[in-house]
Structure 1
Amino acid sequence: MKSLKNNKAVGHDEQGMALLVTIMTVSLLVAVTIQFHKTTWQQFVVANNFKVETQLGAIADSGVNIALTLLQNDGAENTSDSLVESWATLGQEPVENLFPSGSLQVQIVDLTGLLQINSLVQKKDETTGAAGSSNSESEIRQLFLNLLLSGAFPIEDETEARSILDAVVDWIDADDKESDLGAENSYYQSLAQPYSARNGPIQYIEELLLIKGITPELLFGSGEYKGLADYVTVYGNDGQVNINTAPLAVIKSFDSLISDELLEKFDTYRKSPEHKESLEKPNWYKEVDGWPGDIVLEAKLLTTTSSYFQIIATGTLDSLARRVEVVAERLKENEIKLFGRKME
């Protein structure tokens, strides 16, 4: 009788052990299955993201190529550049029919319409020592000073504006002679984290933040104030501004007597396709209704032909986007040279 009970006990123990082993095995299989599913899903997500990013990159690159072709064709057909031409209106509507999925937005910004920061210091002729450009530094610097004092920026007075202008000049020029209100290496070397002035042309717009007196608020804007970066460029050195495409604040920097009402008429005139032929001449502004005869813009600082353009191409697919920026220089032979490609 005792032996029978022992046998039953042993049987129960074996059944319990088998159940425990079964539960452990099932648990292990479930864990392995979950991990496999998680790994597979992660791989799928990575592969899908790579696919989408590749598509977005291809769409954005297509936009850059479209813009470059447009600029080349425009250069071959026209001798001037204005806001009534096809390259200038390219960004008004997204391009949606070129791709099976996704859309494209392309914008071309004329950088020759901005003030050239590096033209504040004109290149010198190695043989004569004279400025290599016909445009005097004093006239170009006056444009920058007028822009800084326009009220569009967080600048308190003329002294602050002149100190910023002098500091930029000192940053660019090759010597270590400090301007009246400027700053040279002695100042930058005295900082907590010292560095040297470039003593050469500024390479990128953010470099201005290294210069004494230029703050992020001044360069990029804050609240009611505009950003200086919207009105200046590091490309070009001859000091000429395309009157057809320049921001109105840049036009006003030629003469502070130009009223806002006159600027509005000026802008309306240059955006009218019927005036396309007139816009080939830099002095077309004199034809604007009501333009005073005593307001004469400095002719040698004006042009109607552009060389530098910023191309901004954005590819969009579902809720994702890829943005490509590149600067193109259109040479006299109508060839294109690219600078500073950025991808976001």
Structure 2
Amino acid sequence: MGTSRAYSARRGVPKGTGQDGIALLLALLFIALLSVIVVEYTYEAEVEAALATNDAADLEAYVAAKSAIASAMAFLAADLLEIEQFSGADFDSHLDLWARPAPLEPINGAVMRCTIDDEYGKLNLNALFRMDDTGNEVPNELLIEALRELFGRRADVLGLEENPADAVLDWLDADFEPREFGAEGDFYARLEIPYPCKNGPMDSVDELLLIRGITPGFFFGYFEGDIAPDQRDRPQEQIVPLPELVTVHGDPGGRINLNTAEPATLDALFAVWGLAAPELVDEIIEMRMNDMPFINEHDMVVFFDKPRKNDIPPQHVLTVQSRAFRVYGDGITQNARVRIEAYLWRNPGRGAALSSIEAQESFRILDWRVIR
């Protein structure tokens, strides 16, 4: 009887319980590892799909941006065609086709827009010095004084103590002697990350950011240091970014388009040019607002007083025509945005003295960069 109960008790205990538990744990571990692998694979697949989608969106935005540049060229070409066939007045101003705001236009799965700005309406930094026939460097004294005036006023508005004009002149001129507030190669060689002084023409207006005293605030137009008391209430948005005032693709002789120059540029020029009274700037801006641009050189010359013996005549300082333009081509999709910044030289067409190569070109790309 006791033996039977003991046997029954032994039969109630399952055999192999320890091995089965280990097998279950191994099975759960395998399932967990498999789940991790599946999740990781799914994640990588989703990432690759997203990257492929982004690449496709970026390409579509890039194509749209290039199309916007082509559209800008069409506007600039149509402007010349309008001159030749209809108006006959060879001038560039805010009334031209290229100067009108362009709307967003659909193209494939994106939208595009072009924005055109006149580089001849800016002070050309590469015209501050030129080489004469004997190889000697000749400064453009009027343009240099205009630069000092422009940068000095800007430094005052931004609360900066130093006018960086001397440093810009040292960056451009061929000698190695620093001006009073300038800098030559020895200054840049002592920087934490040294680099040489250019001592020659600039390739891009962004190069200014390498020059002593040209801070990001000075370049882009925002306050960095102490603000002069009389400037503290001035709205920051009134400070024009430096690339709207100066260029490296302007008129080789340093002339500035009177129809398109910013008021700050004209203020600085007229303050140092003996033939032009500073109050004429307001009159010129009012004429623009009333759609009354200067339509030819004669129209421009008679606006100013008759030059005295030592005065520089208007046609040597100003112009009403433009050949170089900055174009922004924007391409936008739902997931990407691309901007192309291009500087274009436009063949001025009839009546212009051109080399044989220039005569065969409608446009020439002076600079091209893609911004993502």
Deviation sequence 1:172-218 (CA, Å, 0-9, x none): 12222444554333444455655432111012223223333333322
Instruction: Give the CA deviation at 1:311.
Output: 1.0
- CA–CA distance in structure 2, aligned partners of residues 126 and 68 of structure 1: 38
1:65 counterpart letter in structure 2: A
Report if the CA contact (8 A) 1:84-1:272 is conserved. no
2:287 counterpart letter in structure 1: Y
CA distance 1:10–1:115, change in 2 (3 Å): same
1:229 paired with 2:243, answer: yes
1:337 counterpart letter in structure 2: R
Instruction: Give the CA deviation at 1:107.
Output: 0.5
What secondary structure does 2:202 align onto? Answer: coil
1:337 paired with 2:349, answer: no
Aligned partner (choices 97, 120, 131) of residue 86 of structure 1: 97
- CA–CA distance in structure 2, aligned partners of residues 13 and 182 of structure 1: 86
Instruction: Give the CA deviation at 1:62.
Output: 1.0
Structure 1: give runs of 5+ residues left out of the alignment.
none
* RMSD between superposed Cα atoms in Å: 3.4
- CA–CA distance in structure 2, aligned partners of residues 149 and 19 of structure 1: 82
What secondary structure does 1:122 align onto? Answer: strand
- CA–CA distance in structure 1, aligned partners of residues 128 and 341 of structure 2: 26
What secondary structure does 1:9 align onto? Answer: coil
Counterpart of 1:102 in structure 2 is 110
Counterpart of 1:144 in structure 2 is 147
Counterpart of 2:57 in structure 1 is 52
Deviation sequence 1:99-140 (CA, Å, 0-9, x none): 24332221111111110011111222237x485xxxx71111
Counterpart of 1:170 in structure 2 is 170
- Which of the two has higher C-alpha Rg? 2
Instruction: Give the CA deviation at 1:319.
Output: 5.6
2:151 counterpart letter in structure 1: L
TM superposition score normalised by structure 2:
0.74
Percent identity over the alignment? Answer: 24
CA distance 1:13–1:188, change in 2 (3 Å): closer
1:235 counterpart letter in structure 2: H
Report if the CA contact (8 A) 1:241-1:302 is conserved. yes
CA distance 1:297–1:342, change in 2 (3 Å): farther
Q: How many residues align?
A: 325
Structure 2: give runs of 5+ residues left out of the alignment.
84-89, 224-235, 272-276, 349-358
Deviation sequence 1:43-97 (CA, Å, 0-9, x none): 2111111111111111111111111222233234433221111111143x222xx
Counterpart of 2:259 in structure 1 is 244
Counterpart of 1:258 in structure 2 is 278
1:1-344 correspondence to structure 2 within 5 Å: 5=10, 8-10=13-15, 12=17, 16=21, 19-78=24-83, 79-91=90-102, 93-95=103-105, 98-126=106-134, 129=136, 131=138, 137-150=140-153, 153-154=157-158, 160-161=162-163, 164-179=164-179, 181-189=181-189, 191=191, 194-223=194-223, 224=236, 225-236=239-250, 237-256=252-271, 257-259=277-279, 263-270=281-288, 272-273=290-291, 275=292, 278-281=294-297, 283-284=299-300, 298-318=314-334, 320-332=336-348, 333=359, 335-338=362-365, 339-344=367-372
